Structure 1
Amino acid sequence: MNRNFNQIIESERANLDKPLYTNRKLQQLTELECSYRKGDWKRLFEDTLISSY
């Protein structure tokens, strides 16, 4: 347990400059940056892959 806790703390410290976003914020950013309103960037990426086939 202590080892896992230390790994989590180290991971968090390494990513202090990277923000965490809620699903709603991801959708807002996707709409703003990609003009895609059906979901977030992950859905856009999946839809793009599917339409390629």
Structure 2
Amino acid sequence: MGGPSARVRAALWEEARRYDGMARALLTYNTNNKQGLAFEAHAASGTRLITKVSR
């Protein structure tokens, strides 16, 4: 999708979250931090979100 602006990214994320109960979503994007990226996750209702960090 390229590199949408923060405003467009936020609007797309809100649209994805409207499907609560039907799907899971993961949003990753470049940012100015040590890792160079950030992510947000949304789990469908009734599901658990498990994160694993490898070192």
TM-score > 0.5, shorter chain as reference? no
- More strand per residue: 1 or 2? 2
Q: TM-score, normalised by structure 1?
A: 0.32
Q: TM-score, normalised by structure 2?
A: 0.31
Greater relative contact order (CA < 8 Å, ≥ 6 in sequence): 2
